[in-house]
Structure 1
């Protein structure tokens, strides 16, 4: 057999269609041999059944059977060809999921290309004719795919090479003539590029929507978080208020019980005193009755007459008919206690609500420091720019546009142009001070008045004039206690500037209906402008939320 195989020629076992050694060779009635798959696809893609070699026309498609002898000889030739065996051994076998070569027998090798014309996939060895044979070079090769039949027009059995923009579908070259008249067509590559561009645009739009959706999700999560935090603070405030009210009720209840018990003890003590006195009276009466009874038994006339005088002259007993214990009435005690409770609770609730309001405002606390470049030359600032003292010596400083040169003020470094903010200043021990807010553009040189028209919203203490708020005209303030720490709260959008006695959680004064259009800065005057000597400083203190 080996000797015979040496005489075999490759041309004798080559299919004239795929130019490869026969795979399942079949013979036509005209005597020519082809791969069964090749001749079947050839006739499927043509209207007439014609022999590819001799051009014999068949009226109907012949029944094809595999030529067993040629098949066996082709297999022997294929195995005996060193070139074929060597090349096949170097090519990788198809792994699960990879496209297999349609022409490999035995082990199926991995396909590297698929031919739309032949509707077959080829490994490197079986692809060679498509790269070398002139009549096969025009075939359209693509990356290997399994579903080659989906790339053929099901109606005309031709490759899908055009894209119908009118119907948005892929068609063959015959479709525009028969089924898609007057439609707009472009080559598949051009349709691919256009659709790819649209897909890229779609992906960009989707990515943008995804980002917006993610942002919205984060916004909702943040909103839920803030809601939980707000609810937690609200519960904490409520718990604190109701615990305090409960303690207040318990205290008033204890006082009520104590009052009732004290009344009862007083009545019992008075009753016990009278009873004790009556018992003493009773004891004397019994002794006298015994003496009288004993005298009655005497038969001595002289003794009876002489003793009667001493017995009858005994001190008279107390008349107890009008003596009684005053029953102290408890009627109305409950009503009185409840009225007291109502009045006390009303006062305490107002105090608690003020504390709750102040705690809410303190949530907007900001860090504020003094700006040395704005300080009057006589003012002394601490190293951390948190304290300002009144000095006696005017320092030689650069008189920049920001510095106060007549009015003894200093501003904060921080400015605010929106939202809400709050800070606290310790004024303990001060006999004069001024605090508030001012516009960034307000006057700082020479003499001017502290008023909203000048861009100043302030509250002042002076031992001579007392407390005043400097509105369009000064407003005297009547405070129940002397503040030791003052809180300043601003709501820029609402046009609100409020001052609080932090320790008492009491509102001192509010500027309302203000129209802010410039940046605002905290303003401080340690008393220098009032020519009032005071060694205690103004101190910007850290906000400690009220209990």
Structure 2
């Protein structure tokens, strides 16, 4: 339905584009058009027409560009018509919706107010009720935006949780792979050891059995010969048979079979596999060695006990000169060097707040500060207050340990180039460094922080 008198709208329509005029202009004949539309007529070639001037689209009267005149009043009228068109009108009565019925929550016109449908309802003028409801909507928008922001934050948090979950799963997968690899490796070695012992037992038992068999074979031949001899004598004449009978009986009456010593056919080499692999601690302790501290390598702030099994860090001490001594890092090495096989030792770290434990090459630099990583000849893990437990790879690897290890086991497999660490309180695997190639002597390595003494239990004290 039109929002203004029909004739007014018709006067404001452009006969070229059939829309309300934009920048209305008039030409010589008095007709009005959109400026863009009439300029389009001016720009078109006139073809073969004898008239050189453009013609009005309505009356065909010629006009020139200079005759175009803006019509400001008509432009204002068109703007009013557009604003009027944007207003909503009552679908039933075609009038402006001046009122708001709060009971029904809808806009109504003056005719609707007097209808039975809205009789007795609370009516408010649109201009009066508009600010309040606008404020309510803005409040809802603010709340929804806050919820939207919260949703975005939660989505980011969920993405972080997904990433963290995947990282945790990957770490657990690596741990499971490492634990089973270690277990399989140990079992392979144990299998070889048990099979070697079984083969050795087989050879010794077979030797004894074969000696018994050979003894019986020899006695069988001797008995057969003696039997034939006596049978032949029994066929002799009385004179020949009785001649020397006393000596014959005396010589052969005490013949008795020498039965070889009985050999047990039950192998003594027995392996209870279920007990063997149920606890990794039982496996790695087979390779346990006693480790003591080398005072010639101890940093001047480190204090060693008389038995060389405990080290603490304190004030600088006066120590004799040694080219083996660490001058930059507060470190000390174990006296024992490893060049082959598997070697395992344990370190009681207690409740200390900072330490390094592992192995290193015997010829590592000791006169300057460095990063203790494989590239520098160190394979170690550490505890520090800032980052917790870490494996000193390059870059360092965070170790999300669920339980605090009080007793740390270090296993070196020189041949395979692996260094592994275990929480010996639980028998759980902590970390295994990537495979390396060892060709030099490796020694136990310890770095000691203040208030974090380390103790090396003697093998007899280990359970």
So what's the TM-score if we normalise by structure 1? 0.38
> Greater CA radius of gyration, 1 or 2?
1
TM-score scaled to structure 2, two decimals? Answer: 0.43
Higher relative contact order (CA 8 A, sep 6+): 2
